[in-house]
Amino acid sequence: MELEQILVVDDEEAIREVVSTMLESKGYRCTAVSNGRAAQEQVKKSTPDLVLSDMIMPEMDGIKLLDWLREYDPEVPVIMVTAIHDISTALEAIRRGAYDYILKPFEKDQLFLGVGRALQHRRLVAENRSYQLKLEQQVEERTAQLTGAIAQLEQSYDDTLEALGSALDLKDAETEGHCQRVTAFTISIAKAMPVPNHYLPILARAAFLHDIGKMAIPDGILRKPGPLTDDEKQIMRKHCEIGYNMLIRIPFLRDAAEIVLAHQEFFDGTGYPRGLKGDQIPLGARIFTIADSLDAMISDRPYRKALPMPHAREEIRRCSGTQFDPKVVEVFATIPEEHWLDLREHLGSPFRLAHLKNL
């Protein structure tokens, strides 16, 4: 174990020698200097474990040295040595941050006791700091592990969702890739709104799973090439509630489930299933319905070819206040046509929900 280092500061050579000899006999390593200025230089070369300083010295006295040390390294304890008639000065030194004071002439035991206490204090401070650093490091490591585990869990969730989306594509081949495109379009509008960052994953999952209820719709209705009868329309419309009931039981999809339930609501209250109006419709659903309509219009369908982008944008503007929220339409109108065409072309294959962070 390395010897603890004590810096003795006194303008009297005899005192320096006596104090150093006594302390070295106890196993400490001592360096002695004659005033505060010399002490500064020594401290800069090698920080001691303790400074034992006289009060009255030429060039720089003990109080000025103390003030400098408190700035330079507050953890180094300082014991002031003073004559008995200067007790008020010694108390002032305590107020300024000295650990203790010893009165001249001092007994050997008094010196050893004061030095021992001061060094024990420094050891405790150092141990406490080391403990705090170790604790902070452990917290950082565990936080990183937890963050990694959460990210892994979220990716696992999204892998499951992507598999569900692929299953829906197989069932409803007419709209293959629609879930992926409409999810990307929805997130683009949401970021331009803007919405809070924590809402984006919820919205992405809702957009991606908006038609998941169609898994329960009979193929004869889902894939019917011609117009649906009124009864068939009623069955098809149930996909919102079916999707909601599927997702509401999954804790991390509960917020997304509310958007799925409302994704066919119209701003003027003429949508379904609940006839919600205006702000009664979740914001995510109001954003989604524009993205959904855009993709439907610019995609080929069995009954018509894809419409030109300018036509689709004009149609969304025309339906502002009826089918769509005017505030969301305003934001949509600020996004250039090229963005949608580029996004559609470079969506990524295979599609990953994680890609949406880069939109």
Give the start-to-end residue ranges of the domains of the chain: 5-131, 172-358
Q: How far is CA 281 from CA 237, 253, 269, 287, 324, in A?
A: 17, 18, 9, 10, 11
Just give the CATH number of 172-358: 1.10.3210.10
User: Exposed, middle or buried, 174 (CB in 10 Å: 0-12/13-18/19+)?
Assistant: middle
pLDDT digits (tens, 9 = 90+) for 178-205: 888 899 999 999 999 999 988 998 999 9
The rounded percent of the chain whose pLDDT value lies above 70 is: 92
Would you say 297 and 240 are in contact if contact means Cβ atoms under 8 Å apart? Answer: no
What pLDDT is recorded for position 352? 63
Mean pLDDT of 295-319: 88
**Overall average pLDDT of the 244-269 stretch:** 93
Q: What residues contact residue 175 under an 8 Å CB cut-off, 6+ apart?
A: 169, 211, 299
Whether 328 has a pLDDT exceeding 80, the answer reads yes
- pTM of the entire predicted model: 0.59
State the Cα angle at 309 between 303 and 314, rounded to 5°: 95
pLDDT confidence of residue 283: 97
The answer to whether domain 5-131 has CATH 3.40.50.2300 is: yes
> Tokens 């204090």 identify what position?
121
C-alpha 64: how far from chain center: 45
The rounded distance, in Å, linking the Cα atoms of 9 and 40 is: 10
The beta-carbon contacts of 171-175 under 8 Å, at least 24 apart in sequence, are 171/214, 171/215, 171/219, 171/222, 172/211, 172/214, 172/222, 172/223, 173/223, 174/223, 174/301, 174/302, 175/211, 175/299
Q: What is the mean pLDDT of residues 132-141?
A: 91
| Arithmetic mean of pLDDT, 285-293 | 97
Residue 29, pLDDT score:
93
Confidence band, pLDDT 50/70/90 cuts, at residue 294:
very high
Angle between the 199-208 and 178-192 helix axes, to the nearest 10 degrees?
150
